[in-house]
Structure formats: C-alpha cells, structure tokens
Structure 1
Amino acid sequence: MRLLALSAVLLTSGPVVAEQAPVRFSIADAWAMPLVQIEDHQPTSGLIFDIMQSMAAHANLSAEYRVVPIQRVQRTLERGAIDVRCYAAQSWMPSLSGDYTWSLPLLIQRDLLISTPDNATPRMPDTLKDETIGTVLGYAYPTLQTAFDNHTLRRDDARSEVQVLQKLQIHRYRYAVGNQWSLDWFNRNLPDDQKLRGVAVIDEQPVGCIVRNDTDIPAQRLMRILLRMRMSGEIDRIMSRYSTSSGLPVDGPAAP
C-alpha cells in the first residue's frame, strides 16, 4: 500500500526543476560612494550596486556579491569565481584571458586631476614636475604612466578614492586623481570654500559590464537586459538617485 501511494505521488508531482544558481558579481574593495557603500564586507547601496541588483532582478536571478581587492578582480574573474564584473573598461584589462561578452557602454567615467581650493588654477598634468600624486592602490592611470615610470611624478597610493581625497584635503600632497562622481560626492556637504577642485580632465572612459561565457550563465540574456535598462532610461534614473548622470547621450547608448 505504501509503495502504491509513493508511486501516485511521483506520478502527480511532475518533474523536479533545479533552482538556478545565483549570479556572482564582483565588488572591488577600493570602491566608495557613490559607486558603492560596503558594510560588513557586503554592498548595501550605490549606483553600481543598484545597477547590478536591477540586472539580476530583471533576469529572475538572485545576486551574490564577492568583495575582493582591486588587484585580484581580474584573476578572480578568469578563474571562474565570479560571473559578472560591472564598472569595467577593456583598456583596464588588456591581458584578460578567457571567453567573455562585453556589454554596451553604460556610463562614461571622467578622471580628473584634483587639487585644493587654494591651488585651483587649471593645470595640465604634463606641466607637473616632481609632484606626488594621490592615487588608488591597484588602479591604472594610462595618461600618467609615462610620468610615473620616469619618476617625473610619484604615486602615493591609498586604499580607496575617498581616502585619496581625504589625504588631499589635509594637504598630504598638492594633487590627486579621482573620478567626477567621487569628487562630487565628497564635496556634497562641504562649504564652497572648502570643496576640492578639478583642475584638468585627464581621461574619459566608457565603462560597462563583462560576463563570462559559460553554459551555466545566461550571458546573452543579461546583455539584452542591460541594453533595455540603458535604452529605457533606467540607468539614468539610477544615477539620478545619487545626484549624478551617466555621461551618455539621453537618446541611446554610445558606440562601443
């Protein structure tokens, strides 16, 4: 009798569908607001976090976040420990090995040479000599690399962009490099006469997401979701939560 009952249950219950694994995103520990807020080694808010959260929700997938040092993000991606890296540019990973799909550009990152209010005269980096420049540990600065290599300029590395700006604020050096979003966030509650100033644009990079091509990852579906998020204005609405903008044209994505 028990055998017959068990057989009836198996016949009427239908096939068992395995739950799809969560999509694993990388978070660089050097990021700061408005990109991401990290608490207890997990992201809690920020424009990149919101983009990744929405991306996973549109795909009906749960999201898992791996916070790793910026120097190890590429290696973590290559060994398959993460599936998606957002806030990435191809020029940042020239030696990337493996099979990946790149999204269309989602944002334009503008890197600035930044100084203090008392030293805010516009100044191009190639006119600087024998200066220490505030930088983030593990970040590449292609436009300044030659000067770093020949010791015309020196790096002073900190763990995050906010630490770089804090050190500039207390005059540990006269110049630093940071992106426009981080500078605006840092300045948001400061009196005007204390705000740090961008004195030159040193680089502009289109950034997007990269997904490992793996049979367990719906890479093409994720790419289509990012395209819809960009075209529908969702990316811009996310950016507006943090009083900033993507830097891309409002009528569509920039060309890769």
Structure 2
Amino acid sequence: MRHILAGLLLCATHSLAAQPVLRFSVAESWSMPLIRLEGDQPVEGILYDLMQAAAREAGVRPEYHVMARLRLQQAMEGGDIDVRCYVATQWLIDRPGDYIWSVPLIHQRDLLVSHPGDPPRLNPEQVPAQAIGTVLGYSYPSLDSLFSAGRLRREDSRNQQLALQKLRAGRYQYAVSNQLSLNWFNRQLPPEQRLRPQKVLEEQTLGCMVRSDPGVPTQALLRALVRLKESGEIERILQRYASPDASAGVVSGSGQ
C-alpha cells in the first residue's frame, strides 16, 4: 500500500513539475479584498482567487512576483512577468506591444470618500484647498487639474487600506478609494461610523494582459479567462468578498 501511495505522490509531483509556469505580477499596493500577502506571497483575496482559478483552468502553474506598482511597467517591458491582472488601458503610459489584452473582467469605480457626517459635495472642485488621501503610484486623471493648480495635494499611502485608515483617524478630510476596498473597510464598522462615498470620480473596466511569446501559453490563459467570465466564476469570486450591504451608500456619477 505504501508503494502505491508513494507512486501516486511521485506521479502527482511529476505532473505538477511538468506544467508550464506563468509569472503573475502582484502589486505591493494591493490590499484586501484584492489580495493578502504572507511572507511576500499572496494567500487570499479577489485577485489571488482569480489568478489561481485562471491558472487551474489553463493547466499552468502560477508563480507570483510581488513588486512595487511603479515597477510593473518596467517589468512588462523587460519580459520579467507573463501576466498582469487588474489593469486598465488608461493606466498605462506606454502599451507594450508584446502583450495581449484579456476580455474585460471587473468593473471598478473610484470614489471620493469622506467622514460619515460630512455634507455631500457635488464635485471635487467644491472641496477647499487641502491634502487628500491617495495611494502611491496610483493615477487619478479626474483630479490632475486640481493637483496641478495646487488646490488639492496628494498624501500618498503605501496601499488603499492605509489611506482609508488615515482618513478615519482624521489625518485628512477626504480620500480616494475604489469601491471594492471601501466596502471591505466599512464592513467591520457600525453603520454610523462607515466612511461615506461622496462622488464617483472614475470608472474603469479592468482585465489582464498576457505576454505573447512562443514560450508562454498565452492563448490557453486568455481562453481560460473567457470561460471564467462566461461561467459566472468571476462574479462568484467578487461576491465571496462582498459585504452583505455592499451597495449601500453608493453614490451615482459618471466616469471618464
């Protein structure tokens, strides 16, 4: 019996080693519900579940490379990563020609967020001159003119959760947050203490970019992402990390 089990284990190990490896990028600035890191490796979160599911569906072994968000473009241009997920076309300074876009996977909204008791403001232009909570390396096109004019000043945090924690602690009056992170942050607070979404600043459709190279199973992964989208698996992953009242308090507005 022990010989049989040893043989099965050997076969499973050989099969895993024979799978092609895909190098997925992970931005240090991601926090829950997008991803949680332990020992410089992802262990849970929306993007971790998505990348794990895509790798299984495509029959590849994922390898995660954690790096600063500002290094992602350089890593793509140097061919140091094979897959970059959670990215929008407008976030790229230059689009590397040797990467292929996946189907749209996640719709995201970036919100202007304030303390729970603050009165609503119709536009960021109505915010008095002050510092505003932002994330290092993130771009906010709808606020660029206000930053350039000195009306608003960026106060960067290492990730989105820290930016929201500073807002709640009173370090500044407003911050910018994606809706997924805001819902996750608010789920642990009683309703009267939850941070308040004031305005939709941007809306983006996010997907993955896969390196087009003979040594990379590019089409296998792209087809896997299509199947995950069409089967509803991505929506199930999103719901797994959604709070019961995730839609409560969401303001309306137009994106870019």
Alignment TM-score, normalising by the size of structure 1: 0.86
Q: Determine whether 1:220 maps to 2:223.
A: no
Letter in 2 for 1:140: S
- Asked whether the equivalents of residues 120 and 198 of structure 1 are also in contact (C-alpha less than 8 Å), the reply is no
After TM superposition, give the deviation of residue 192 of structure 1 in Å.
1.1
1:90 corresponds to: 89
Is 91-100 or 36-45 further displaced after alignment?
91-100
Matches within 5 A, 1:49-128: 49-128=48-127
Alignment gaps of 5+ in structure 1: 1-16, 248-256
1:209 corresponds to: 208
CA distance in 2, matches of 1:87, 1:58: 18
Once the two structures are superposed, residues 28-63 of structure 1 have per-residue CA deviations (whole angstroms, 9 ceiling, x without a partner) of 000011100111111000011101000001111111
Residue 157 of structure 1: SS of its match in structure 2?
A: strand
Once the two structures are superposed, residues 69-118 of structure 1 have per-residue CA deviations (whole angstroms, 9 ceiling, x without a partner) of 01101111111111000000010003133311001110111000000012
CA distance in 2, matches of 1:167, 1:113: 14
Letter in 1 for 2:47: I
How many residue pairs match? The answer is 231
CA distance in 2, matches of 1:95, 1:210: 13
Once the two structures are superposed, residues 153-177 of structure 1 have per-residue CA deviations (whole angstroms, 9 ceiling, x without a partner) of 1100000000000000011110000
Alignment gaps of 5+ in structure 2: 1-14, 248-256
After TM superposition, give the deviation of residue 244 of structure 1 in Å.
6.3
CA distance in 2, matches of 1:88, 1:97: 13
Once the two structures are superposed, residues 142-198 of structure 1 have per-residue CA deviations (whole angstroms, 9 ceiling, x without a partner) of 111111112111100000000000000011110000000000000111111111010
- Asked whether the equivalents of residues 105 and 208 of structure 1 are also in contact (C-alpha less than 8 Å), the reply is yes
Letter in 1 for 2:78: R
CA distance in 1, matches of 2:19, 2:37: 26
CA distance in 1, matches of 2:132, 2:64: 31
Residue 117 of structure 2: SS of its match in structure 1?
A: helix
Letter in 2 for 1:77: M
Moved over 4 A (4+): none
CA distance in 2, matches of 1:198, 1:154: 19
After TM superposition, give the deviation of residue 120 of structure 1 in Å.
4.4
Letter in 2 for 1:47: I
CA distance in 1, matches of 2:111, 2:50: 24
After TM superposition, give the deviation of residue 243 of structure 1 in Å.
1.7
Q: Determine whether 1:194 maps to 2:206.
A: no
CA distance in 2, matches of 1:179, 1:244: 15
CA distance in 2, matches of 1:118, 1:240: 28
1:48 corresponds to: 47
- Asked whether the equivalents of residues 114 and 199 of structure 1 are also in contact (C-alpha less than 8 Å), the reply is yes
Matches within 5 A, 1:139-158: 139-158=138-157
CA distance in 2, matches of 1:138, 1:69: 8
1:7 corresponds to: none
2:8 corresponds to: none
CA distance in 2, matches of 1:47, 1:97: 25
2:230 corresponds to: 231
Identity %: 47
Alignment TM-score, normalising by the size of structure 2: 0.86
Q: 1:195 to 1:244 in 2, by over 3 A?
A: closer
After TM superposition, give the deviation of residue 20 of structure 1 in Å.
4.4
After TM superposition, give the deviation of residue 127 of structure 1 in Å.
1.9
Q: 1:47 to 1:244 in 2, by over 3 A?
A: farther
